């Protein structure tokens, strides 16, 4: 039988930035548990904001011409979804919020394909704002009936230059335990 898949999305514009690097570590942990993973990112891949055309109602397809429909297809096919954002002025990066709002509309107004997917948010900051970003991103998970496991702290990492977040020992311990909990729940729900 094919293993269940977890999709991990980095909302950073930096291809090999902290967000992408810490999500790669989550993917490694999930693969150790026997799950399949794919890490994708928004570097060089702008995602526009929802224009409220409501054309997705019924069609299940977003009318805007960027990579959103392709990414939504990957989310639909996955059993788990972990999203990571750099903290920008105390909030999540705009393009990631655009993605979540548009995917949310596709699911919520159609077949609710997000329901019962397992996952949660991750936030990377230099100094402050990460807990607000976790709260901000959780709004997407909870309104879409998704299952979000906890960890021993919140999924927040500290770092500025690419790679620094990997040196945040407590942050990484928390995050890898969260990833492990995502994997364990998926395997138990099978």
Q: Which is nearer to ligand FMN, 109 or 131 (CB)?
A: 131
Do the bridges between strand 80-88 and strand 91-92 make them parallel or antiparallel, or are there none, so unpaired?
A: antiparallel
Q: Which is nearer to ligand FMN, 12 or 107 (CB)?
A: 12
Cα gap 136→97, rounded to integer Å: 9
CB of 16 to ligand FMN, least distance (A): 8
Return the closest-CA partner of residue 71 out of 54, 97, 91, 47.
47
Q: Which of residues 130-189 bind ligand FMN (CB under 6 A)?
A: 159-160, 162, 165
Token pair in block for residue 163:
């790679």
CB of 37 to ligand FMN, least distance (A): 18
Token pair in block for residue 111:
């077949």
Cα gap 105→79, rounded to integer Å: 19
Do the bridges between strand 36-41 and strand 80-88 make them parallel or antiparallel, or are there none, so unpaired?
A: unpaired
Site map (CB under 6 A) of ligand FMN, residues 13-42, x = contact: -x--xxx-----------------------
Q: How many residues bind to ligand FMN according to rule CB under 6 A?
A: 20
Among 82, 124, 156, 179, binds ligand FMN (CB under 6 A): 124
């Amino acid at each position: 039988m094919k293993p269940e898949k977890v999709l991990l999305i980095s909302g950073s514009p930096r291809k090999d930035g902290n967000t992408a690097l810490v999500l790669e570590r989550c993917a490694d942990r999930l693969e150790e548990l026997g799950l399949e993973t794919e890490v994708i990112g928004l570097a060089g891949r702008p995602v526009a904001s929802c224009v409220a055309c409501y054309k997705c109602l019924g069609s299940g397809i977003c009318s805007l011409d960027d990579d959103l429909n392709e990414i939504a297809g990957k989310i639909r096919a996955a059993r788990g979804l972990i999203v990571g954002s750099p903290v920008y002025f105390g909030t999540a990066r705009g393009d990631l919020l655009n993605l979540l709002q548009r995917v949310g509309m596709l699911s919520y107004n159609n077949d609710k394909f997000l329901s019962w997917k397992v996952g949660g948010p991750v936030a990377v900051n230099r100094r402050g704002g990460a807990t607000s970003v976790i709260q901000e991103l959780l709004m997407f998970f909870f309104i879409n009936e998704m299952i979000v496991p906890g960890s021993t702290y919140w999924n927040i990492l500290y770092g500025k230059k690419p790679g620094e977040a990997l040196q945040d020992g407590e942050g990484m311990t928390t995050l890898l335990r969260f990833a492990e909990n995502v994997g364990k729940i998926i395997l138990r729900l099978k």
